[in-house]
């Protein structure tokens, strides 16, 4: 956002409530931060949501997770996790197997190819986060984390 646009926004009528102003600023900030992440993921053809799923599956280890469990752990809720997993499976980044005991349950696991892509992305993603937020310092970042966690407690 250019300085001119920022000035024009500030000159507009102020928000009626501080809660609304905080909410809009949070949305703008999340979008700006996500653009940096998306740009880092673009060369490997992943969306931020796909990247999130791969990280969830890496954390799950060799046992993998059921579709429902993946959906519960996602940062941004996606109503069609199955289609998201279809695309990752087509690229060879995940595998899915039907549970022998309960055929309704399909377990998803990350593949070696998926693990390699994540390993290659670990450093660039870390660098993006440091570039975006490092200037705030540890104390201010800890305060931000605490404030955001408090806000999420009442968000539902």
- Asked whether the predicted pLDDT for residue 8 surpasses 80, the reply is no
Helix (H) or strand (E) holding 129: helix 112-133
| pLDDT computed for residue 115 by the predictor | 98
| pLDDT computed for residue 80 by the predictor | 87
- Place 154 in a pLDDT band, splitting at 50, 70 and 90: confident
- Place 143 in a pLDDT band, splitting at 50, 70 and 90: very high
Name which of 38-42, 101-105, 144-148 the model is least confident about.
101-105
pLDDT in tens, 58-70: 999 999 999 999 9
Domain architecture of the chain: domains with CATH: 45-153 (1.10.10.10)
d(CA 64, CA 70) in angstroms, rounded, equals: 9
| pLDDT computed for residue 72 by the predictor | 92
Within 10 Å of residue 37's Cβ, how many Cβ atoms? 19
pTM: 0.85
List of residues 6+ apart from 88 with CB closer than 8 A: 50, 53, 54, 94, 114
Please tell me which residue, 130 or 9, carries the higher pLDDT value: 130
């Amino acid at each position: 956002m250019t300085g001119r646009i920022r000035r024009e926004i500030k000159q507009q009528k102020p928000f009626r409530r501080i809660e609304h102003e905080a909410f809009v600023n949070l949305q703008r900030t999340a979008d700006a931060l996500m653009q940096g992440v998306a740009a880092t993921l673009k060369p490997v053809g992943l969306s931020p949501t796909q990247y999130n799923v791969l990280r969830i599956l890496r954390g799950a280890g060799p046992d993998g997770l059921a579709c429902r469990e993946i959906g519960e752990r996602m940062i941004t809720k996606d109503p069609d996790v199955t289609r998201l997993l279809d695309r990752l499976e087509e690229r060879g980044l995940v595998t899915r197997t039907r549970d022998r005991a309960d055929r309704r349950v399909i377990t998803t696991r990350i593949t070696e190819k998926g693990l390699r892509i994540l390993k290659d992305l670990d450093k660039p993603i870390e660098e993006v986060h440091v570039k975006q937020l490092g200037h705030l310092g540890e104390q201010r970042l800890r305060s931000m984390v605490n404030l955001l966690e408090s806000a999420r407690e009442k968000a539902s």
